[in-house]
Structure 1
């Protein structure tokens, strides 16, 4: 079963093919618009509309397309964010080594900046975010007592993966040397949040308030893991038994 990319209503079919080179896109019975105009569009146009955070493009990708490589997106996001965090950590380590103000903190930072440690930390943060959003959403449906007709945990997981792709802009920060903080990184975070809001609202059929309720716990936990846990690690000095 497909959905209309304009209103989200169910559609039994999106087009009819009269011959190998001729097909006709059907109209949605509910809103009267073309059920999925992106069928005739080049994938590049769909990609541009995803960047522009267009809800119809998200509906097309999540429900009407044949895209199945979400696991590849997970790996790309994981490696990209890990590399950005590791590069930022290396810059901080270099600046601290140049100052030589706190030897214990410097040694702890060197341990934390191990690339494999950053990989594990980033994977834990991503997994905690997705699991928290799913749990809060399921709790919301349990309290309300009704789920959207097209909702599933798998679709929500895929939507969160697609929405999180805004973090790939962090690669540009590595080129421009704007890594850890400042207006550039805040813009990336803000854009990623907007993408996640849009993807979540498409799957859960919720407005801004409902999407905020579903995502805010995940945002808070993700921020805690990304900030507090590294600081806790750096505050533990290395103890060597002699």
Structure 2
């Protein structure tokens, strides 16, 4: 089953193909809009809309697309964030004073051993996902009615996709802005918006 990217209603089919080169996107029976306009769009346009934090784009990726490489994405996020923290730690030893690096990474990452950073980042990611799942389960337990498409697996995927904003931190290594507190806070703010959009798009279906 698919969902409408506009209202989140369940759809049996998104389009009908009349010949190999002609297909018609069906409208949602609930809202009357095209169930998934991204069916005809180039993946680059979908990617741009994901960057622009469009909730329909997140719903398309999570429910109506053939994207399955979530484990690859989480590994990329894990390595990119670990590398950013490790570079920041190394630079702090030679170029930055303690007040400048305090905003970039917390006290738990003061050890510049790369393997320690990897373990710390993996634990942080796992703790965050588990905390969100626990809070969400508690919310549905109190409310007493879960959305029909809700599952812990899909929620974890939504958090992985939403957390992709952290990849912007990797650009700081190239641009040498690793130690800039304002730069890092901007990335964190953007990532929070992506996570909130992915989370709300997932839990409204």
Contact 2:26 2:35 in 1 (8 A): yes
CA distance in 2: counterparts of 1:111 and 1:81, whole angstroms: 15
Q: Is 1:34 matched up with 2:37?
A: no
CA distance in 2: counterparts of 1:33 and 1:180, whole angstroms: 46
Q: Which is bigger in relative contact order (C-alpha 8 A, separation at least 6)?
A: 2
Task: Give the superposition deviation at 1:112.
Answer: 1.3
> Which residue is equivalent to 1:198?
197
Contact 2:109 2:117 in 1 (8 A): no
Contact 1:82 1:118 in 2 (8 A): yes
Q: Report the 3-state secondary structure (helix = DSSP H, G, I; strand = E; otherwise coil) of the residue aligned with 1:112.
A: coil
CA distance in 2: counterparts of 1:61 and 1:194, whole angstroms: 17
> Which residue is equivalent to 2:157?
158
- Within a 5 Å distance, the mapping from 1:44-193 to structure 2 comes to 44-95=44-95, 112-193=111-192
Task: Give the superposition deviation at 1:146.
Answer: 0.7
Task: Give the superposition deviation at 1:180.
Answer: 3.3
Task: Give the superposition deviation at 1:20.
Answer: 1.1
From the CA coordinates, give the structure whose radius of gyration is larger. 1
CA distance in 2: counterparts of 1:5 and 1:32, whole angstroms: 12
Task: Give the superposition deviation at 1:35.
Answer: 0.5
Contact 1:93 1:110 in 2 (8 A): no
Whose helix fraction is larger, Structure 1's or Structure 2's? 1
Question: Are residues 20 and 173 of structure 1, via their aligned partners in 2, closer, same or farther at CA, if it must alter by over 3 Å?
Answer: same
Task: Give the superposition deviation at 1:177.
Answer: 1.3
CA distance in 1: counterparts of 2:37 and 2:110, whole angstroms: 52
CA distance in 1: counterparts of 2:148 and 2:109, whole angstroms: 50
> Cα RMSD (Å) of the superposition?
2.0
Task: Give the superposition deviation at 1:95.
Answer: 4.2
Task: Give the stretch that moved more between structures: 175-184 or 143-152.
Answer: 175-184
CA distance in 2: counterparts of 1:95 and 1:183, whole angstroms: 18
- TM-score normalized by structure 2? 0.91
Task: Give the superposition deviation at 1:181.
Answer: 4.0
Task: Give the superposition deviation at 1:21.
Answer: 1.1
- TM-score normalized by structure 1? 0.78
Question: Are residues 60 and 139 of structure 1, via their aligned partners in 2, closer, same or farther at CA, if it must alter by over 3 Å?
Answer: same
